[in-house]
Amino acid sequence: MFTPVRSRVWTAALALSAVTALAFGATATTGAAAAPAAAKQGPTSVAYVEVNNNSMLNVGKYTLSNGGGNVFDVAVIFAANINYDTSAKAATLYFNENVKRVLDNAATQIRPLQQKGIKVVLSVLGNHQGAGFANFPSQQAASTFAKQLSDTVAKYGLDGIDFDDEYADYGNNGTGQPNASSFVYLVSALRANMPDKIISLYNIGPAASRLSYGGVDVSSKFDYAWNPYYGTWQVPGIALPKSKLSPAAVQIGGTSQSTAAALARRTVSEGYGVYLTYNLDGADRSADVSAFTRELYGSDARYTP
């Protein structure tokens, strides 16, 4: 039995006076064309960034000493929230002030990463209000929320959406308990809206175990799925090829370098295609990062402030 070790503080998100209005009708921001990244052989590396405390730009500061390729291939903005609008009795997408600052300043906070060839996705997390990915009351409600997600990706020029079904507190505000259909409807609608964007699964919570309904299995609609328990090895229980799975998960600065290296070696030796990291901050973490890049890519990591 493992306990998630994410140290997340959501007081800013919880002290709501009103639900953020998303200007979905606004002209979409077009992402800058990505420059070809230096060639790199090995698994896809993912970095979650807690933007309440740290800059997304930190992801782009790490390259491989041998060849100069990016250490990280996917940067995850952590995190927007699925909130509950009590007046509309519906789930709604919410950005706290720190997430909103990143999105509103995409030209300086997101585009520089994309120009390096790093994909930038937005993680969406529960917020203790009863709204979650697994308790939409109807297919239409799930589709409505999927459109909020895809419109956000289009508006801010993002590369996709990450689902993290934690902290929903299902049942609060009179909401329903998890049901079998909701996440299937949500993922199906989002994939239809975003056929060429990333959809990833942080493999935790009621949604992660409800991937099939009515003869539809949405497993293949995900690009990636990863283990949510840092410092451990756990193959996500989803029917995806090894190339799209990360059984390894590390917290940078929180998982020992020896454990990070061992998990990276196992990733390579067992043929998995993704390596997940969490909580990249603004310090020089090249020693922690090199511990796994040596095993994944045969190279130390270089930090450039």
Q: How far apart are the first and last CA of the chain?
A: 39
* Cα separation, 16 vs 18, whole angstroms: 6
- Lookup: tokens for 304: 């450039």
Give residue for tokens 């409600």: 141
CA distances 238 to 146, 222, 246, Å, are: 21, 9, 11
Active-site residue, 166 included: yes
CA distances from 49 to 19, 65, 141, 162 (A): 23, 23, 29, 13
Token representation of residue 251:
């917290």
Q: Which of 50, 97, 166, 270 is catalytic?
A: 166
Q: Catalytic residues, which ones?
A: 166
